[in-house]
Chains A and B, each alone.
Chain A
Amino acid sequence: MGVRQWIEGWPVYRQWTEKDPSGRGAAAKSRRSDSLRPRTDQADRVVKSICPYCAVGCGQNVYVSGEQVTQIEGDPDSPVSRGRLCPKGAASLQLTTGSAREHQVLYRRPYGTEWEPLDLDTAMDMIAERTIASRERGWQWEVDGARTRRTLGFASLGGATLDNEENYLIKKLFTALGAVQIENQARV
């Protein structure tokens, strides 16, 4: 910072030159305050979304800068929510970008006392193997003489927080595998 700039930034100087006799207004405004812009202003894009908490279905605008979500706010265009959010919806940024989220597959071996990291590919393969095995173990061609063509070997719980497309594939795959114990929070 040059001397001239330094003097110009000097509050008392500005107090007189900027006609701010109080010295607590325009004259006191810092360089940072002067250049302050909302971070949403710098977003590379605004992505339209829907709040993931309850079923009101509030519209959300997701602001992305440098492939990072920097802000989530209510979408004023939504006729349902008119841009408003509750505390949970307002905490969506913390939910999605906060430190509480895990990003590593963890594995607990039988009788193990601690978690171990596991790579995703291996985990997927192991889960596929186990699904096939449990399916076979619990297979019932018939029950009391009536054909059932099913397995009770594995079950699934979850869905009310998922997308329709996800539920659709869950139901489709597991039904084709013969599973019937497919449930979600609608009961809970």
Chain B
Amino acid sequence: MGTSFGRGGATTFQQDLANSDCIVIQGSNMAECHPVGFQWVMEAKARGAKVIHVDPRFTRTSALADIHVPLRAGSDIAFLGGIINYVLEHEKYFREYMLAYTNAATIVNERFAGADELDGVFSGLDRERRSYDVSTWQYEGAEVQAASGKRDQLWAERTRHGVRQSGRGEAHGSGGAEIGTEPRTDETLEHPRCVFQILKRHFARYTPERVEEICGVPREKFLQVCELLTENSGRERTSAFAYAVGWTQHTVGVQYIRTAGILQALLGNIGRPGGGILALRGHASIQGSTDIPTLFNLLPGYIPMPHAHTNEDLATFVEAESAQKGYWGNMKSYLVSLLKAWWGPAATPDNEFRFDYLPRLTGSHSTYETVLEQLDGTCNGYFLMGENPAVGSANAKMQRLGMAALDWLVVRDFSLIESATWWQDGPEIETGELRTEDIATEVFFLPAAAHTEKDGSFTNTQRLLQWHHQAVEPEGDARSDLWFIYHLGRRIREKLAAAARDGTRKEADAERDRPVLDLTWDYPTKGRHAEPEAEAVLAEINGWNADAEPLSTYEQLKDDGSTACGCWIYCGVYAEGVNQAARRKPGTEQNWVASEWAWAWPLNRRILYNRASADPDGKPWSERKAYVWWDAEQEKWTGHDIPDFKATKAPDFEPEEGAKGPDALRGTDAFIMQADGKAWLYVPAGLTDGPLPTHYEPHESPFANLLYGQQRNPVRQLLRHENNRFQPSDGQPGADVFPYVLTTYRLTEHHTAGGMSRWQPYLAELQPELFCEISPELATERGLEHLGWATIVTARTAIEARVLVTDRVSPLRVQGRTLHQVGVPYHWGPNGLSTGDAVNELASMALDPNTHIQEVKALTCDIRPGRRPRGPERVELVERYQREAGITDETGTEV
């Protein structure tokens, strides 16, 4: 999303789905996983909208849709690519929108070669290093790099030393920061190297016939979707997409979303009411936890974490990472303000605002690499705060083995989740792989406070920050995580300061401790628990000027150290000293945009890129779809929402020669975060695995890639370990040992890894234990009985589940064969009231190279009747399967 449009967040808000003429839900089971948001889909349906659900299973979402399109798990790019091909071939795109607001006309440099020419890979692939030299994907003209000689060098440096692997895909969330001057364009769209022509060539092979063979979707059904979507897009009508982790949890997950992005940009559905792409997040503040990231590769506001080999000083870093044009041009202001928020008076111009205090990355440090570091002893302490990796993470066994290698582990949760008790009763204790008496790990379990027991804000799926007020004090030892981290920091600082006073610390120690001791860490506290004031933290996130007055917009941020701001995209949430996230003007007293209910980033804009809801001249594309427009009399943008554009910049504005940053944006550059102001159909920078989405088979697949010789994403991230063996795919010996496609999912009645639902009697009784869903045909094939037991096996482990035989999972016809899919919800573990094996034990650590997200939505497995073996025999069964399939440490690791 970030790479296509400029910001890593939903482009629209849930209520606006009601204005859609057609809603495609794909990679999401919205009715089950976001039931209350689904009311807006129902609202649209009641107004006559068509609802299309594309999903391997017939779910509660399908039940309410007009059309359910079952497809093979892991084939969405082929499906959506087919629609793009249909749109291009039948000229169903919204030409004026496309020309004005996308990079369709931009010409790409001649070093670029596409997947259509190179049999499934792009130019610049280094097979040895499993990475791309992404400079070959740039726009036309060496001047783009020449404008900044050093950047060229850094670029090469970056790709050579694997900075790429540090997950740049998410930085900037992720508007490409790399383009300098104006790229060359061809408004006739005829230049063979213009994005439009490249797109046409790239998607030409995604024909309805191929879609049918790859996805298992009959041609007629596919064409029905194409027609509905294109009929309901254009000047008068708009269509929306909603997706969730059904798209992200793949080895090519980001590109799934990119495909939808291209489609929506071609159809003119971005920035307009009833349009957009709604990313449906699973946790209360998952959007917030990437905006203010508890992620290794980002700083608050999608500023990338600096890397060790490059970006060694502030100036170089800013030069390399910021953009010439658009709002990333002001990155230095955002970063300096962050450093001021963290290190206050210690951060001065002379010391580069303590830029050197930031630790440096050397590659990926994702949660999965961390497990390997735990196993090799590098990482020996671990904090788990509201997360249950012993159930929720791919290859959960590795997570437990990692924890068993730690010196200490802190678990903060409501109940004794599996990640707290694995040493006592985990699966490895049962198999004998671990013995409680041999495990050295010290475990601290700290009870956490509930949302009713603390103040704070969640950022919901539509970038909306909503404040929850404390209702009561937490009981006993339960405390908020704010309390925990604040007091932990306070104690650590006291201990380090005391050691410094003692004179027992060496000089190097003192230097090491300075970032901690210089940190601004003096929040006011309240109540009998000395709870830090969450609003004081929010005020710091919002930022202030030199006079300690709250800022109201990130446009006020300065790069001279006179402003402080903890997260620039949240600047304005505490404007005028008022907690804007706590605003609660009833929805019934406002229009549907409800601008006075809470606060959305950025700057309370509810539909992003809404400049595009008007034509280049600033007039609404149609009365029916009017949203934001140019008021020539008042000389400003106005409308139902806050314009996502400089309010006074006229549609015909042309920047001065040499203008930089936001000033370089034209009056028609609706995508203001992008380095060229355009929505990116083709991504010249910011992604690690290709400028265009390409259908690759999942890391483990029973089918060959029909479109290219390249079977899988060549740069997918694989973590090799004896407990993380991969399975052979089609065409390799042993592939038939795991003949079925397995996909994981959630149910309405439970929440993610179950920590907040399996202990609740009212939820546990609604879905009391783990089950798997299979078709009657597969039941016959494998002798499985309804409500009987099944054992599901992969190269990682074997689990057992009760069997639900259901027509909701129907076999598909793929590449002339019948494919059976096995569906398993992943909420369970051995603890709590509602129990079952942890399904994510089955998955491997095979990740998307941009986001480091695991592929759990499509893998292969075997399924057999009966319960799984107990004790050591469980391990033996898996080993038997590995031998049968001829699995070695090399299997599945081919580029």
Contacts and interface: CB of A to CB of B under 8 A. Distances in A.
Q: Do chains A and B touch in the complex (CB under 8 A)?
A: yes
A183 B386 CA distance: 12
A103 B447 CA distance: 6
A3 interface: no
Given A124-B488, A158-B385, A159-B385, A107 B444 contact: yes
B891 interface: no
B554 interface: no
Nearest to B474: A103
B360 A148 contact: yes
Interface string A137-178: 111011110111111111111111111111111111101111
Interface stretch (A4-12, A15-23, A34-42, A88-96): A88-96
Interface stretch (B175-183, B583-591, B674-682): B583-591
Contacts of B281: 54-55, 160
Contact of A164 (B288, B437, B487): B288
Interface stretch (B199-207, B317-325, B407-415): B407-415
Contacts of B407: 130, 134
A57 B760 contact: no
B36 A176 contact: no
Nearest to B484: A124
Nearest to B534: A165
B653 to A, nearest CB: 34
A56 B285 contact: no
A89 B36 contact: yes
A102 B496 CA distance: 32
Nearest to A108: B443
A90 B749 CA distance: 11
Given A49-B468, A56-B34, A80-B14, A138 B389 contact: no
A181 interface: yes
Given A156-B383, A176-B519, A52 B451 contact: yes
A48 interface: yes
A177 B445 CA distance: 22
User: Of residues B444, B447, B462, B471, which shows the largest number of chain A Cβ atoms within 10 Å of its Cβ?
Assistant: B471
B789 to A, nearest CB: 27
A168 to B, nearest CB: 5
Given A52-B450, A55-B282, A79 B519 contact: no
Contact of B452 (A69, A78, A150): A69
Contacts of B365: 152, 180-181
Interface residues of B, number: 169
Contacts of B515: 176-178
Given A88-B763, A181-B379, A161 B294 contact: no
A166 to B, nearest CB: 4
A176 to B, nearest CB: 4
B853 A187 contact: yes
Interface string B450-461: 111110111111
Contacts of A33: none
Contacts of A156: 294, 382-385
Interface stretch (B99-107, B305-313, B697-705): B305-313
Given A69-B452, A179-B359, A164 B285 contact: yes
Contacts of A114: 424
Nearest to A53: B751
A170 B187 CA distance: 49
Contacts of A155: 367, 370, 373-374, 379, 381-383
A167 B382 CA distance: 16
A176 B342 contact: yes
Listed residue (A67, A113, A120, A166) with the most chain B CB atoms within 10 angstroms of its CB: A166
Nearest to B460: A57
A164 B458 contact: yes
Contacts of A90: 762
A165 B456 contact: yes
B414 A102 contact: yes
Given A102-B416, A161-B283, A57 B466 contact: yes
Contact of A72 (B308, B380, B452): B452
Contacts of B761: 94, 98
B656 interface: no
Contact of A79 (B342, B472, B473, B592): B592
Interface string A44-87: 01011111111111111010100111001001111111101111
Given A52-B756, A94-B761, 5 more contacts: A75-B584, A120-B446, A127-B410, A162-B385, A180-B361
14 contacts: A47-B470, A49-B452, A50-B451, A56-B35, A77-B586, A133-B381, A134-B379, A155-B367, A160-B289, A164-B538, A168-B540, A172-B519, A175-B342, A186-B295
Interface of A: 45, 47-60, 62, 64, 67-69, 72, 75-82, 84-92, 94-96, 98, 100-111, 113-115, 118-120, 123-134, 136-139, 141-144, 146-173, 175-188
Please list the 4 inter-chain residue pairs (A to B) with the smallest Cβ-Cβ separation, ordered nearest first: A79-B587, A103-B476, A163-B456, A57-B460
